[in-house]
């Protein structure tokens, strides 16, 4: 299992925004990092030292969201000016703009095939557009308050959205129907007691994580809709989160000014990082997971080296042989290991169960 070899370290520190940073995203090979700000500008920073950053101006109000296309040839941004812009992230910074919503655009995210993107807005809708010519495809409109965030699943078949109506909704892109609403009074379990600020899919597509104004992070299974994990680690609102591409870690950014890295397999906190003065507003891992970037209301953009020993993640399932004293609890061990492995495919699950049976045979006197 990939375990951190050393603490994450601050690699680069970018200054250039003139107001709070709202969003960050890496290009595919982490050669560029884009950031948006309340100053209504987009900055494209180069990871190569001594390279000049690009400042893109065009939005008439705060930039709220930014996302590179899978190829890295386009950069999408959304703004309080109700428009979405698609930029060519080079020195010229050419862009095309269109009015996407009737209120602030909160979120923009490309599908993994790059053919379409999804937007979310304070006009209570989620909309899907074709990347080519920005043609409107369809709208999802069951939310009854501002929609803060919308993301495609890794396979592009589902969309998840989070709203100030205190629900997280899962949509089928094909049928355009709401498959499930994670909200109050679900099976008597923990309900959404507050607004959800941010939501994203696990890289495997099997679960979603939601960040809350109530300082929590919740992880749900998208098939059973069961709450898998519930973290209460921050002392203020959680503003953003990002899964490590391995699926083993989750990073959060909070108004308590910290970033926290969680080990999802163990269900525990690994690191608390104090980089920002004031709220940490945004955080994202690079596509390989080697770096992560954060932004804050202190106008700073920071790039950190993860320092995770990223091994072959196919090895995650190797279960160590427990000592004989664990024989009586081997049954519990099976359950807890299965509970922790959120990302299991059918094959891996089978392999895991076989490993468990071996363990139980070895440990049974």
pLDDT digits (tens, 9 = 90+) for 213-238: 999 999 999 999 999 999 999 999 99
Question: Who's near 68: CB < 8 A, 6+ residues apart?
Answer: 25, 26, 27, 28, 32, 34, 74, 75, 76, 89, 110
Q: Is the pLDDT at 287 greater than 80, yes or no?
A: yes
Res 183: pLDDT:
76
Closest CA to 98 of 123, 131, 74, 68: 131
The domain locations on the chain are: 9-311, 316-363
Res 329: pLDDT:
34
For the chain, the average pLDDT equals 86
The superfamily CATH assigns to domain 9-311 is: YVTN repeat-like/Quinoprotein amine dehydrogenase (2.130.10.10)
| Pair 22, 63: CB distance under 8 Å | yes
pLDDT digits (tens, 9 = 90+) for 135-190: 999 999 999 999 999 999 999 999 999 999 999 999 999 999 999 999 754 454 44
Closest CA to 80 of 96, 95, 102: 102
Measured distance CA(131)–CA(209) in Å, rounded: 26
Question: Which string of b and e fits 348-364 if b means at least 16 CB within 10 Å?
Answer: eeeebeebbeebbeebe
Res 6: pLDDT:
81
| pTM for the structure as a whole | 0.83
Give the pLDDT band of residue 312 (cuts 50, 70, 90): very low
| Pair 192, 166: CB distance under 8 Å | yes
């Amino acid at each position: 299992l990939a375990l951190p070899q050393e603490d994450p370290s601050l690699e680069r520190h970018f200054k250039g925004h003139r107001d709070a940073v709202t969003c960050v995203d890496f290009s595919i090979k982490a050669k560029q990092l884009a950031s948006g700000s309340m100053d209504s500008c987009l900055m494209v920073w180069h990871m190569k030292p001594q390279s000049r950053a690009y400042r893109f101006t065009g939005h008439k109000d705060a930039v709220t969201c930014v996302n590179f296309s899978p190829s890295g040839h386009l950069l999408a941004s959304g703004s309080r000016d109700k428009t979405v812009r698609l930029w060519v992230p080079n020195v010229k910074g050419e862009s095309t703009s269109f009015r996407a919503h009737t209120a602030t655009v909160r979120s923009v995210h490309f599908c993994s095939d790059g053919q379409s993107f999804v937007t979310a807005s304070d006009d209570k809708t989620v909309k899907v557009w074709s990347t080519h010519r920005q043609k409107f495809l369809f709208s999802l409109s069951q939310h009854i308050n501002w929609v803060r965030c919308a993301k495609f699943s890794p396979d592009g078949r589902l969309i998840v959205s989070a709203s100030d109506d205190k629900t997280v909704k899962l949509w089928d892109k094909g049928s355009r129907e709401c498959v499930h609403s994670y909200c109050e009074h679900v099976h008597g379990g923990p309900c959404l007691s507050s607004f959800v600020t941010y939501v994203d899919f696990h890289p495997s597509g099997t679960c979603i994580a939601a960040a809350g104004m109530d300082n929590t992070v919740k992880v749900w299974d998208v098939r059973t809709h069961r709450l898998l994990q519930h973290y209460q680690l921050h002392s203020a609102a959680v503003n953003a989160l990002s899964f490590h591409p391995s699926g083993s870690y989750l990073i959060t950014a909070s108004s308590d000014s910290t970033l926290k890295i969680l080990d999802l397999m163990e269900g525990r906190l690994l690191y608390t990082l104090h980089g920002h003065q004031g709220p940490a507003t945004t955080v994202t891992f690079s596509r390989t997971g080697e770096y992560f970037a954060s932004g804050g209301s202190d106008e700073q953009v920071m790039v950190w080296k993860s320092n995770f020993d990223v091994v072959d993640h196919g090895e995650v399932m190797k279960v160590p042989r427990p000592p004989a004293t664990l024989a009586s609890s081997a049954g519990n061990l099976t359950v807890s290991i299965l509970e922790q492995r959120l990302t299991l495919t059918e094959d891996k699950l089978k392999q895991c169960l076989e490993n468990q049976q071996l363990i139980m045979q070895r440990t049974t006197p």
